[in-house]
Amino acid sequence: MPVPHSKRSDPGDREGNGNRRVFETVADEIRGMIANGQLPVGQALPSETALMEAFQIARPTMREVLRVLESDGLVEVRRGVNGGPVVSSMPLAPVARLVGVHLQARGVTLHDLKDAQSVIEPGAARLASQARSEEDIVQLRELVTEVESCTHIEEFGVLAARFHLLIMKVSGNTTLAMIGELLSTLLPDSYVASLKGTRDGVVRAVIKSAAVWYSQLVDAIEAGDGDAAEQLWARHQHMARFQGAAISGRPELYRLYPRTDRPALVRE
C-alpha cells in the first residue's frame, strides 16, 4: 500500500496550525484512502513501523491512529505473527449504536422513529418494483412465509426488521439500503415495546395482519406496479404506527439501553 510521506510535529501533540491533534489528521488521511478505494476492504496495511515512517509519527501516535480507526469499524487489528491492521467490511452496528444513544438521550419516542420509517419506505417500495429481480422476489416470499408461521412477538420483531430492510435493499439505492440497515438495528425491539403485556390473541392477530400486508406488497413489487407498491406501503405504515400506540395506550420512548441503578458518574 503506497502511503504519503510527510513531515509532522509529534509525539501526538497538536499541529502547528490549529488545535487538531496529529493522530486525528493521520486517521483522516487513512479514512480518505479507504473512502476513495485506495484501501479496499480486506487490504492489509503496512506494518506499524512502516506506517510510522510513512506518516513521520511516533509509535504511541500511530497506535492511537489505529485505535481510532478500529473504534470507527474501519480497521480490524488482527493479532498473532501474521497479524496487523486490515481494512474491515465496515459494519453499520457501531454507527447504529451511536444513533440509538443519540435518539434515547433526546427522549425520542417509537412513534417518532416510525414516522421517519413511514416517510422513507414507501418510496423505497416504488423503486423496488422497478429494480427487483427474480431472486429478490423469492427472498421476499420466503420471509413472508416465515412471518406467517411465527407466533411470538420477539420472533416477529426480528423477521419484520429483516423484511423492511430487504425492501430497502431491493430498491437498488445504496443510500436507502444503508438507512435500512440502521433502522433494522434500531427497530426490532420497538415491536416488543409496542405489544408487551398484550394478550396472545392480539399478538397473533397483529402478526397475521402484517403477513397479509407483506404478501400484498410483494405482489405489487413483483408486478412492477410502483404506484400500488408505494400507496400500499404508505397505508400499512400509517396503520402500523397508530395501531402500536393504540394497543399500548402510551407513547413508548425509544430505549437502546435500560436505566441503571448505579449512581450518576459526576465529577466532584
At 143-194, the pLDDT tens digits run 999 999 998 888 888 899 899 999 999 999 999 999 998 888 877 766 676 6
What's this model's pTM, rounded to 2 decimal places? 0.75
Res. 93: pLDDT tops 50: yes
Q: Which of 33-37, 212-216, 242-246 has the lowest mean pLDDT?
A: 242-246
Q: What is the mean pLDDT of the chain?
A: 84
Please state, in angstroms and rounded to a whole number, the distance separating the CA atoms of residues 266 and 268: 6
Q: How far apart are CA 74 and CA 65, in angstroms?
A: 11
Name residues whose C-beta falls within 8 Å of residue 189's C-beta, 6 or more positions apart in sequence: 157, 255
In this prediction, residue 17 carries a pLDDT of 43
Q: What is the pLDDT of residues 234-260, one digit of tens each?
A: 999 888 776 665 555 555 667 766 677
pLDDT band at 101; cut points 50, 70, 90? confident
Is 86 in contact with 45 (CB distance < 8 Å)? yes
| Closest CA relative to residue 112, chosen from 251, 258, 259, 205 | 251
- Of 241, 230, 118, nearest to 171 by C-alpha is 230
**Lowest-pLDDT choice from 87-96, 101-110, 253-262:** 253-262
Report the percentage of the chain scoring pLDDT > 70: 81
For the ranges 7-16, 54-63, 186-195, 238-247, the maximum mean pLDDT occurs at 54-63
Task: Inform me whether the pLDDT recorded for 12 exceeds 70.
Answer: no
**What pLDDT is recorded for position 238?**
85
Please give the residue that has the higher pLDDT: either 206 or 257: 206
Omega before 11 within 30 of 0, i.e. cis = yes
Q: What is the mean pLDDT of residues 92-97?
A: 80
Range scoring the smallest mean pLDDT among 64-73, 126-135, 180-189, 209-218: 180-189
**Selected residue with higher pLDDT from 248 and 206:** 206
Give the pLDDT band (50/70/90) at residue 199: confident
pLDDT digits (tens, 9 = 90+) for 115-140: 888 999 999 999 999 999 999 999 99
CB distance 147 to 156 below 8 Å: yes
d(Cα 229, Cα 165) in Å, to the nearest integer? Answer: 16
pLDDT > 90 fraction of the chain, expressed in percent and rounded: 49
Q: What angle (nearest 5°) sits at the alpha carbon of residue 20, between those of residues 17 and 23?
A: 120
Question: Which amino acid is present at 242?
Answer: F
